[in-house]
Amino acid sequence: MTHTKISDSAVRRLSIYLRLLHDLSDQGAVLVSSRELAERAGATSAQVRKDLSLFGSFGKRGRGYSVAELAATLEEILGLRRHWRVALVGVGKIGTALLGYQDLSRRGFEVVAAFDTATGKVGGRQFGVRISPLAELKTIVRERGVEIGIIATPPEAAQNVAQRLAEAGVTAILNFAPVKLDVPEEVSLKTMDVAMELEGLSFQLAAGQRDEQTTGNGTGSGAG
C-alpha cells in the first residue's frame, strides 16, 4: 500500500468511513456496499471507491465490502492498530476538554503528560493526568516516549512550545492556537483553526441562501 500524495480531505473521509464501519459492526452488519457507505458519509459511490483504491483493492463485485475486514484495514492505514503517546501543552478550556475526551484513548491516543505555566494548575491533576511545569517538558517528553504533541496555549506562546516539542523529539504536532507555526521539516504539523472552519460553514450557508434567492426570483444564468 502506498501512503504518498494522499490529500488531507481523503484522510478525513477515511476516518469517517471507519466510524461508520464501527457503527455498522455494532448493528450486526457483515457486508456494506460502496453506495450505502457513501450515503451514510455524505459522499458518492465513486468517491468511496476512489478513496479506497488509493490503498489497494477491497471488496468483491456484487457483494460489497466485509465490514470487519475493511474496518481493520482502515485502522492499519490510519495508524490506529497501536497506541500513540501524547503530550498536551496548555490546560485551559480547550486543553481540559481534550483531557476529558474519552474517545481519544479508545482510538489509541494516550495522553501521558500535560504541561502549563499557571502556578495554580501545576502539580494538580485533570482527568487523572498530572500537570507538570513547562520547564520540565523536554525531560518528561523524552522519558515517556511522547510521539505527538498537542498545543492548546495562547497564540503568543505557541511558537515557543512548538520549538520545545521539536527539540524534545516530538515529530507530530496538533496545534489549536490560532497562529501559523514554523517547525522543522521532519515534524508533521496540523493546525485546527476553528474560526476558519466556521467561515467555511458560513460560506456554505450563504451560498445556499443565494441559490434560494436566485431560484425564488426566477433569475438564472442562461441567455435569454
pLDDT, one tens digit per residue, over 30-52 is 999 999 999 999 889 999 989 98
pLDDT in tens, 161-203: 999 999 999 999 999 999 999 999 999 999 987 777 777 778 8
Instruction: Render 22-33 in DSSP notation, one character per residue.
Output: HHHHHTT--EE-
3-class secondary-structure state, position 138: helix
pLDDT for the residue numbered 2: 44
pLDDT for the residue numbered 61: 65
Which among 71, 58, 49, 66 is positioned nearest to 1, based on CA atoms?
58
Average pLDDT of the chain is 88
3-class secondary-structure state, position 171: coil
Q: Determine how many CB atoms are found less than 10 A away from the CB of residue 126.
A: 18
**Model confidence band, residue 122 (pLDDT cutoffs 50, 70, 90):** very high
pLDDT for the residue numbered 78: 85
pLDDT over threshold 80, residue 96: yes
3-class secondary-structure state, position 224: coil
pLDDT for the residue numbered 106: 80
Greater model confidence, 69 or 217 = 69
